Amino acid sequence: MKWLMDRAALWASGVLIFSTSMAFASEPEAVPGEYLVKLRPAFASVKSDFQALSRELGMYVKSSLSDSPWVLVQGASFEQSSFALKSLSQNEMVEAAEPNFIYRTSRKSDDPMLEQLWGLINFGQADSTGAAGVSGVDIGIEKAWDIQTGSRKIVVAVIDTGLDYILPDLAANAWTNDAEKNGQAGVDDDGNGVVDDIYGYNAVTNSGDPKDDHGHGSHCSGTIGGRGNDGVGLVGVNWDVRLMGVKFLTAGGSGTLADAVKAIDYATKMGANVLSNSWGGGGVSQALKESIERANAKGVLFVAAAGNDGSNNDAVPSYPASYEVPNVLSVAAINNKGELAYFSNFGKRSVHVGAPGVNVVSSTPAGYKSWSGTSMATPHVSGIAALLLAQEPGITHLEVRERLIKTAKPISGLRGKVASNGLVDAYNVLTNTIAPPDPNDPANWQYVNATASTVHPYQANGVEEFEISVPGASEMALYFSKFDTERGFDFVELYDRAGALVTKLSGTNDDSHSPTVRGDYIRVKIKADDSVQKYGFDITRVYFR
């Protein structure tokens, strides 16, 4: 056993605290420059003389509020409300003053499966496997829907296994090529080289029928734009949108480079605003990169899954997510607790945002299914991009990409793992709000230095244990400056004081914090098999609150 953290070291350490009680909430929405003012009883007689009252208050009186002592006044819209309210409160005529707050109906879809969609609204409900989530670990869609629910002017091309355009959740939002729909059967009515491409394109057969024969593309489509507020099934990020089916992956789930290029070029040519790409593999391709560049030149956003290898894309690129083209937005996956999914690729330079990607329920030709992958995370981001385009029609695709990254909600599970350090948030995107630091992120707690290291490399079939204590702590997290074990075979286990296993870690996790452990004690145990011996770990700090 190796004992760390004496009491003297604890109190001698520097302290940096972000209290959970800090005022991180944004200001309530109010009409700019408008205030409600309550007159003192002695000045009630002046209420009806708007001109005189305006002079006395220094603001224009717009109206009185029925028989009450309140009036509505208009100040300068550019003036900070705190200054205006202070000025009003100091006037001898004024008993009270407050902003003219804005209230909205709370728009919530009536689709019966909404509560199963933790990625949209997470109130701590269990996912499809029974694993309880953490309230608020979602894309902030409930508040976003009060602002925007989507537009049929926006087209999202789902480049995948196709689109089941007759499914109840998808049919109403399926894109249609009106020239072909209203044209002659068997004729290329719009002259685009594809015959009868009413709902999209099938690059595999070079035909106009993108009907999904696998389910993956429809599953992604349901997350982007399952028809909302229709009382049927589930709902997507967008209640209204147009989903273009572009099939290049077969019923077996695979496709070729040639067909991928054709699929991207078709979607670009036919006016898609967003390309959603939940696929990957193969080596670096100049042909594929150039097709993405052509989309960029046409102002089209290319959202791509980071990959499911559990690896660092900064070190080992994953394509198409790793192409350095300005319109590419790469997406990692998180679970319903806000942790990076064990399978998700990451990269603090080359992967940009995280999104829900574990046990995500959506529609397929075989019914509603719960699937996991960065494939499931990607359509959440594509859907939010479509919402923003509906809300701000003049915004460019590169401005959309920047907004999605800039307004992501910081969470500890993604810090240092993606460029934004956070989870996409639809409300933040629509309101262009920069999210505050995450008070539950151990990086925002106080810490003490520590020294705990395995032998390097660790031994075959070896076991090492460490005990770490911070007296008085209610919650702790370990900081690994270096962490490298054989993924899926060699594990680092963390136990609390009661001996309960809290978490198991494996793979490469340099410059990372462990999941938090309740209490003032952690027992660390590394267990290795006899196949591959890697570096092990170095613990250099313990964060606590």
Residue 375 annotated in active site: yes
Q: Of 163, 93, 157, nearest to 362 (Cα)?
A: 163
Residues whose CB falls within 8 Å of the CB of residue 185, separated by 6 or more in sequence, listed in order = 196
Diameter over CA atoms, the chain: 91
Beta-sheet strands, E only, within 253-366: 274-277, 301-305, 328-334, 353-356, 360-364
Q: Give the sheet arrangement for strand 463-469, strand by strand.
A: 3-4, 463-469, 521-527, 491-495, 501-505
Residue 361 CA to residue 222 CA, distance in Å, equals 9
Dihedral over Cα of 314, 319, 324, 328: its sign? negative
- Alpha-carbon separation of residue 343 from 340, 346, 358, 494 (angstroms): 8, 10, 10, 20
Active-site pick, 111, 160, 164, 520: 160
Active-site pick, 216, 219, 397, 513: 216
Residue 158 CA to residue 214 CA, distance in Å, equals 14
Residue 232 CA to residue 114 CA, distance in Å, equals 10
**Which residue type occupies 402?**
E
Residue 410 CA to residue 440 CA, distance in Å, equals 10
Residue 160 annotated in active site: yes
Active-site pick, 109, 278, 375, 420: 375
Instruction: Say whether 276 sits in a helix, a strand or coil.
Output: strand
Cis peptide before 320 (omega within 30 of 0): yes
Residue 484 annotated in active site: no
Active site residues per annotation: 160, 216, 375
